[in-house]
Amino acid sequence: MSSPSAAELAARVRRGEVTATSVLEEHLARVAAREPEVHAFCLVTEDLARAQAAEVDRRVAAGVDPGPLAGVPVALKDLLCTKGIPTTCCSRILAGWRPPYDATVVRRLAAAGAVMVGKTNMDEFAMGSSTEHSAFGPTRNPRDLSRVPGGSSGGSAAAVAAGFAPLALGSDTGGSVRQPAALCGVVGAKPTYGLVSRFGLVAFASSLDQVGPFAANVADAALALDVISGHDEADSTSLPGEPPKASAKLGLGVEGVRVGVIAELAEAEGIAPDVARRLREAADALASAGAKVEEISVPALRYALSAYYLIAPAEASSNLARYDGVRYGLREQRADMTETYIATRSAGFGPEVKRRVMLGTYALSAGYYDAYYGKAQKVRTLIIRGFEEAYRSCDVLLSPTSPTTAFALGAKTADPLSMYMSDICTIPSNLAGHPAVSVPFGTGDDGLPVGAQVLAPALGEAEMFQVAAALERLAPAPAPATGAER
CB atoms within 10 A of CB 367: 6
Which listed residue (129, 134, 156, 176) is catalytic? 176
- Rounded Cα distance between 320 and 309, Å, is 16
| Residue pair 114/56 in contact by the 8 Å Cβ criterion | no
CB atoms within 10 A of CB 58: 12
Q: What is the DSSP string of 320-333?
A: GGG-SSSSSS----
Which listed residue (5, 77, 129, 190) is catalytic? 77
Q: What is the DSSP string of 113-152?
A: T-EEEEEEP-SGGG--SSS-S-TT----BTTBTTB---SS
User: Could you tell me which residues are beta bridge partners of residue 261?
Assistant: 295, 398
Burial of 2 from C-beta contacts in 10 A (0-12 / 13-18 / 19+): exposed
CB atoms within 10 A of CB 124: 29
- Rounded Cα distance between 84 and 18, Å, is 30
Which listed residue (130, 152, 153, 422) is catalytic? 152
At 278, which amino acid appears?
R
CB atoms within 10 A of CB 83: 14
Q: Is 152 a catalytic residue?
A: yes
Q: What are the residue numbers of the active site?
A: 77, 152, 176
